[in-house]
Amino acid sequence: MDGPLTAKTAEAPGAPKPPEGPTVIQYPTDGPRHVKSRGMRFPNDSRFLPTNLQRSLRSGTYCERTLAAVKAMVKREDVVLELGTGIGFISTFMARKLKVREVQSFEPNPHLIPYIEEVYRENGIENAQVHNALLGKRKGHAKFYVRDTALTSSLEENPKGEGAPVREVLDVEVRNFNTTLREIKPTVLICDIEGAEAALLPGTALNRLRAAIIELHPQWIGQSGVQAVFDAMQAAGLTYFPRQSNGKIVAFKKGW
């Protein structure tokens, strides 16, 4: 697979000119250089780790529902495809703690890529790779809307219930999902893509998967979108796995 790509940017109407994407992590001049969470180290750069996120990491509550499902379902021999890397928390945990065979992670926000790569370096990760791209029904480009909080940025310009203003609009590469599945041959899918799951997953060749952990966004995709995700999993031979599902975190598995 190709490495990170540079996205084209355009100012959102009426928005201030966005800052240049960081290429060097800005460690604090005083205080701890890292935030530690579950035996992992995250560079203490306030542009990526605001105070509330630092608190969540230190207390062990960050992504705890997804992490619980990952710990119970992902195995050492797995090849994991992760959609939506965020700060690299889940991919780092799988690579470092579970020692999975391989993690291939896709993150559309180019501002997050240098941070994720630094997280991998700081934790000695060699079995995970992040790609600055989206996956879609066909290759091309798509608009990605960046907000002040990186983790609320998404493909939707005005998602329901999201009040943070758009800072910039990025033209991000889209890679063909089915082609990527054939290349990577994942056995597990981890998916948190801010509502795009309802459009992406149906009609995709997911039959090779033995398990999937998906964060649903019903506030954006509604009942029909949730149903579309469940139908896509059923078509791939994956059954809803209630033991490791928790609220919007839904787990699917073969042969349970």
pLDDT digits (tens, 9 = 90+) for 62-114: 999 999 999 999 999 999 999 999 999 999 999 999 999 999 999 998 889 99
Q: What angle do CA 120, 100, 238 make, to 5 degrees?
A: 120
φ, ψ of residue 166 in degrees (nearest 5): -80, 125
Provide the residue type at 212 as one letter.
Answer: A
Average model confidence (pLDDT) across the chain: 89
How far apart CA 109 and CA 168 sit, in angstroms, is 11
Task: Evaluate if residue 164 carries a pLDDT over 60.
Answer: yes
H/E run at residue 41: strand 40-43
**Rounded CA separation 254/256 (Å):** 6
Q: How far apart are CA 93 and CA 68, in angstroms?
A: 11
- Distance separating alpha carbons of residues 146 and 157, to the nearest angstrom: 9
Give the C-alpha separation, 180 to 157, whole Å: 26
DSSP state of 152: G
Residue 170 identity (one-letter amino acid): L
The residue extents of the domains of the chain are: 8-14+32-253
Least confident of 21-35, 67-81, 82-96, 130-144: 21-35
Q: Which residue do the tokens 């991919």 mark?
A: 91
At 23 the pLDDT is: 58
pLDDT at position 203, please?
A: 93
The CATH fold assigned to 8-14+32-253 is Rossmann fold (3.40.50)
Q: What is the pLDDT of residues 184-201, one digit of tens each?
A: 999 999 999 988 999 999
* Closest by Cα among 22, 69, 55 to 192: 69
Three-class SS string for 105-118? EECCCHHHHHHHHH
